[in-house]
Amino acid sequence: MPEVDAFTRPYWDAAAEGRLLLRRCRGGGCGAAHHYPREFCPYCWSEDVVWEPATGRATLYTWSVVHRNDLPPFGERVPYVAAVVDLVEGPRMMTEITDCPEPELRIGMPLAVHFRREGEGDGMGAGAGEGAGAGGRVAIPVFRPA
């Protein structure tokens, strides 16, 4: 499970509300969006970066079917599709593809984000009103066909 800290809390709180956030550089002449969240721009090194909402739309860049993973909670879900997607805002993001049989996946297929609730207790179906990390639960962004 990801660790929620003061810096990443806005990301996880937004995810708990069903919203995906990115970081965007406001440094002179840059303007690049990036993911995973960092306190600086990985392109120009500016520290003038802000959170911004993402559309939640992406295209499939590549994937692999994971048949064995001994780490909880993944072992309970094998096989699953680990993937890299290109967000329409520009960044690539590692994620999981759900609600699509592997033979139907195609490079470049349009995808949409949704959120799986994970963590302590029942782990699934935690209320959207719970904040990130509430009761040890987080909402993880995953993608499915648009």
Residue among 143, 138, 142 at smallest CA distance from 1: 138
Neighbouring C-beta atoms of residue 17, cutoff 10 Å? 14
Residue 4 vs residue 58, higher pLDDT = 58
In the block, which residue shows the tokens 């440094």? 27
Q: Would you state the structure tokens that stand for residue 113, as one six-digit string? A: 């984000």
The predicted pLDDT at position 136 comes to 58
Q: How many CA atoms lie within 13 A of 3 on its CB side?
A: 2
- pLDDT above 70 covers what percent of the chain? 88
- What is the band of 76 on the pLDDT scale with cuts at 50, 70, 90? confident
- DSSP, res 71: S
Q: Identify the bridge partners of residue 60 per DSSP, sorted by sequence position.
A: 85
Mean pLDDT of the chain: 88
Q: Would you state the structure tokens that stand for residue 94, as one six-digit string? A: 């590692």
Global confidence as pTM = 0.85
Residue type, 40: F
Residue among 91, 24, 14 at smallest CA distance from 58: 91
Q: Identify the bridge partners of residue 111 per DSSP, sorted by sequence position.
A: 58, 145
Give the span between the Cα atoms of 141 and 15, in whole angstroms: 7
The predicted pLDDT at position 71 comes to 86
Residue type, 45: W
Residue 59 scores a pLDDT above 90: yes
Give the span between the Cα atoms of 88 and 60, in whole angstroms: 11
